[in-house]
A and B are shown apart, each in its own frame.
Chain A
Amino acid sequence: MQNINTGDTAFILISAALVLFMTPGLALFYSGMVRSKNVLGTIMHSFIIIGIINVLWMLFGYSLAFGPDKFHLIGDLSWIGLRGVGAAPNTAYAPTIPHEAFMIFQAMFAIITPALITGAFAERMKFKSFLLFIIAWFVIVYIPVAHWVWGVGGWLRNLGVLDFAGGIVVHASSGAAALAAAIFVGKRKGFGTEPMIPHNIPLTIIGTGILWFGWFGFNAGSALASGALAANAFVTTQVAATAAVTSWMIVEWLKGGKPTTLGAATGAIAGLATITPAAGFVSPSAALLIGLAAGVICYYAISLKFKLGYDDSLDVVGVHGVGGILGTLSVGLLASTAINPAGANGLIHGNSSLIGIQALGVFAVVGFSFVASLVIFKVVDKLFGVRVEEEDEITGLDLSQHSEVGYDLSGLGGSAGGFVTANAFSAYPSEMPSVSGEAPLAPDNLP
């Protein structure tokens, strides 16, 4: 155990907590963009994934993703239930921290990736079917892809594909699944004809702040040690995010007339997603270019859905899919061994082969995730139907799927659903729990 570096261990554990925090952040980021009747349904899509995926991760997911290689495609089950994953470092992955710390850091990535997809089918998916899809996608897509790119023996890793913190594994894979989701699940009722205005942009901004904050753990933590490489990844993350906020605002201002708050937030997330695969391979000045490009290219990418006619409700394809692909390809252009000797040089540093390898990695994962997601949706649809009933969609997911409402601005019991009414009627609990202890707050006007 002499090899354990306490500084590295502290840094990775804190980074793991930061990455975990991103998923509730994503819940807020997404939920501000939906209509008020779906705020809780949208939050729940991200939040419940934390629970389910982490349980599966410790039971078998980690072993299949990072365990001893089988056929360059998947890990085996020798670490099932975290057997043998303890204090001793795994020298192949992170030689200076407990294996357990590496495992839990990776768990947080396994959690947020499927949560990203949920933005594509927001406001219309049946909860039971959502759960089944997410579990199947995690097992069939996330685990193998993580193994291909990051697992020792994985075929893309062996080819030399570079993905520092998840441009391919997290963003491109979830973006491709999001496209499949938008196409298969279909448009929200009224998409394109009824206004579907974000109900609470301040919520989205809080979510953006949490995501941005957590992203330092995501990217700098992916150095898997505290030191120069982590510092570089930290800096490139900040540089790209700020560049993308700025370039998004400029292009939006020039094209759309007004610089919007939602645009600024979206620009930040686009910059963060795009720098993710490159954070530990490129210099801060390269990150500036990547961030500027991300703001402009993702701005145009999110308008594709209107042209092509699919309802990627919260722009997962345009922001995460396109950002992840762009970032992964930018590694092929801008990577430098001066930043990370364990990486490779990109085109501008005289190595013309990396960009092709990066493109192959993206192509393989995007294609696999897209097709596998369609197949999973097809099966789930046969079993339970993917969409809620029309009446439930009109009512909203909060009430129809969860029997709760997000807002009770009238103080009348939640049915107001964001309504501020003049006519004060009373609503009262039909059944109050008589047991002592934590009783729910009753409305003031209880008879």
Chain B
Amino acid sequence: MKKIEAIIKPFKLDEVKDSLSSIGINGLTVSEVQGFGRQKGHTEVYRGAEYTVDFVPKVKLEILVDDGLASQVVDTIMDAAKTGKIGDGKIFILTVDDAIRIRTGEHGDDAI
């Protein structure tokens, strides 16, 4: 089992979610995060004082998948989240020991 984490541009969330649904992914978790990478932040100006905000708002997705599906999920996210510009984000793949569905107590692949 793998956990796939993706940091993407916020406005791409709907597109990514829809593409994942279309390949049969019916569960994911989303959180709003701020990232610092190659993409530059921005400048805000208040009453003449300039503030540089380095952190850029991003959305983080977490998806648990069966090993066999992992590469397809990665490709799907890549296609849907890509704009070609700096700041498109990253995808990470992590190993998972186990997954449990709280309502039923099912373990492993059944719980995904």
Residues of A with Cβ closer than 8 Å to B? 194-195, 394, 399, 403-405, 410, 412-417, 419-423, 425, 427-433, 438-440
Contacts and interface: CB of A to CB of B under 8 A. Distances in A.
Contacts of A429: 49-52
B56 A415 contact: yes
Nearest to B49: A440
A405 B44 contact: yes
A123 to B, nearest CB: 13
B45 interface: yes
DSSP class of A's interface residues: helix, strand, loop or mixed? Answer: loop
Contacts of A413: 44, 51, 53, 55
DSSP class of B's interface residues: helix, strand, loop or mixed? Answer: strand
Nearest to A438: B47
B54 to A, nearest CB: 6
B32 interface: yes
B44 A403 contact: yes
A422 B50 contact: no
6 contacts: A403-B44, A410-B34, A425-B34, A427-B52, A428-B51, A433-B49
B55 A412 contact: yes
A410 B33 CA distance: 11
Interface stretch (B35-43, B61-69, B71-79, B90-98): B35-43
A415 B50 contact: no
A419 B34 contact: yes
Contacts of B49: 429, 431-433, 439-440
A415 B57 contact: yes
A439 B47 CA distance: 9
A399 to B, nearest CB: 6
B56 A403 contact: no
B34 A423 contact: yes
A430 B44 CA distance: 10
A175 B46 CA distance: 34
Closest 9 CB pairs of A and B: A430-B52, A419-B32, A413-B53, A440-B49, A415-B53, A403-B45, A427-B53, A429-B51, A431-B50
A418 B75 CA distance: 30
A415 B34 CA distance: 9
Contacts of B42: 399, 403, 415
A86 to B, nearest CB: 37
Given A413-B53, A423-B33, A431-B50, A399 B44 contact: yes
Nearest to B13: A194
Contacts of B57: 415-417, 419
A438 to B, nearest CB: 7
A404 B56 CA distance: 15
B104 interface: no
B106 interface: no
A427 B32 contact: no
B109 interface: no
B24 interface: no
A432 to B, nearest CB: 6
